[in-house]
Amino acid sequence: MLRKKKYIVERYEGNPILTAEDFPGDILWVFNSAVVKKNDGKYVMVCRCEDSGLARYLWVCDSADGISFKPRPAPLPMPHGNPIFDKHCRGRNPSTMNSAATLTYLDPRITCIEGQHYIIHAAHTDFECQLGLFKIDDGFEKLEWIDLISLPDNRNGVLFPEKIRGKYFRLERPNSGAGNKHIWMQSSPDLIHWGMPRLIASTSDTGWAYTSVGPGAPPIRTSEGWLCIIHGIRKQAGDSVYGLGAMLLDLEDPSKVIGISKRCILAAQKQYELDGQTPSVVFTNAAILENDGTVKIYYGAADAVQCLAFAKLADLLHACKHE
């Protein structure tokens, strides 16, 4: 049966909202950035930036409206001095210029839990990719390294914004092993020691991501469940093509899936999504629910620029439960 056209996500007409030209210095790419709306109503974005030497930075940008962001004069200083951080994710292996050997921090996601902001990220360590965790102060000026919090090979860690039954929860996507390419969940008493893994969603649960499906933005609490904007990948003529979808989890037991959208809510179509470092990519690290029911979805496009889209909460919930 032919589906009716239904676009529940609209791109911001001024996309991309951040490009390399907005930053000082030798920045070539900005994408896959984290965003949080603080209690004072202002927005903070932590960008993933790369320069021409393939060094990576976490760069803070500020906004009053969640649309127009201004980068700060310099990237965040890294918490050097911690032996684990310095050995495994210092940003570059000084013994080689081979990008395959680069040790670094990628794809940050910000979650505020009980008044403390945490940044979970992919850490390209000596042992493939692991999940790393920072604390950051309220002014987003100083990072505090916590630890590596996963086995390799794992990425796309996303923290829930509150404890559930006294425990912290996270979503993740193993990158290798029997459970790779699917969304998993683990819980923790302290954000460091994780266990009780549960398979949450597999590629067979969607019709639009048959190669891989993974977490995207931190979950949003709604009256109907935890709303998660997720990403998925399919192969097209040998190339990876990315899309975004939506998933709804039970509030009291987030290992229970209420529903997953059976078609992607945003696909790579615009030129800035098709052409870049990696073609045909839309990838989200952040979504903000506004008081009027609008959800701002922040996404990187083609591993090159940072973009923004809008959706209505009711439409996203409907897509999870009825489509």
Instruction: Supply 314's token pair.
Output: 């009711």
Residue 2 maps to a domain: no
CB atoms under 10 Å from CB of 116, counted, come to: 12
Residue-level pLDDT at 200: 97
pLDDT at 98: 45
Residue 246 lies inside a defined structural domain of this protein: yes
What are the tokens at 242? Answer: 């990315």
Smallest Cα–Cα separation from 80: which of 66, 68, 91? 91
- The pLDDT of residue 89 is 80
Q: What is the pTM of this model?
A: 0.95
Cα separation, 285 vs 137, in Å, equals 20
Using a 10 angstrom Cβ sphere, with 0-12 exposed, 13-18 middle and 19 or more buried, the burial of residue 49 is buried
Range of the domain at 166: 9-322
* Calpha distance 112→106 (Å, rounded): 19
Q: What is the pLDDT of residues 30-58, one digit of tens each?
A: 999 999 999 999 999 999 999 998 888 99
Distance of CA 117 to the CA centre of its chain: 15
d(CA 183, CA 198): 9
> What is the DSSP code (8-state) at residue 256?
S
Q: How many CA atoms lie within 13 A of 5 on its CB side?
A: 0
In a domain, 50, yes or no: yes
Number of Cβ within 10 Å of residue 235's Cβ equals: 11
Using an 8 Å Cβ cutoff, are 168 and 187 in contact? yes
Give the closest residue to 302 by CA, choosing from 278, 269, 268: 278
Are residues 48 and 35 in contact, defined by beta-carbon separation less than 8 angstroms? no
- Within a domain: residue 199? yes
Please give the pLDDT value at position 92. Answer: 52
SS3 at position 139: coil
Classify residue 1: in a domain, yes or no. no
Q: Which residues pair with 125 in a beta bridge?
A: 128
Residue 4 belongs to some domain of the structure: no
Residue-level pLDDT, tens digit, the chain, 323 residues:
666 767 899 999 999 999 999 999 999 999 999 999 999 999 999 999 999 988 889 999 999 999 999 999 999 999 888 888 888 886 554 444 344 445 688 999 999 999 999 999 999 887 789 999 999 999 999 999 999 999 999 999 999 999 999 999 999 999 887 778 999 999 999 999 999 999 999 999 998 999 999 999 999 999 999 999 999 999 988 889 999 999 999 999 999 999 999 999 999 999 999 999 999 999 999 999 999 999 999 999 999 999 999 999 999 999 999 98
Cis peptide before 153 (omega within 30 of 0): yes
Beta-carbon count within 10 A of 65 CB: 10
DSSP β-ladder status, 220-222 and 225-236: antiparallel
Residues 6+ apart with CB under 8 A from 186: 169, 170, 172, 194, 195, 196, 197, 198
Domain contains 25: yes
- Which CATH number fits the domain that encloses residue 131? 2.115.10.20
CB atoms within 10 A of CB 202: 16
Q: What region does 237 belong to: left with phi over 0, alpha with psi -120 to 50, or beta?
A: left
Domain count, the chain: 1
Q: Report whether 41 contacts 26 (CB < 8 A).
A: no
Structure tokens at 88: 């495994």
For the stretch 67-97, what's the b/e string if a residue is b when 16 or more beta carbons lie within 10 angstroms of its beta carbon? eebebeeebbebeeebeebeebbbbbbeeee
Please check whether residue 32 lies inside any domain of the structure: yes
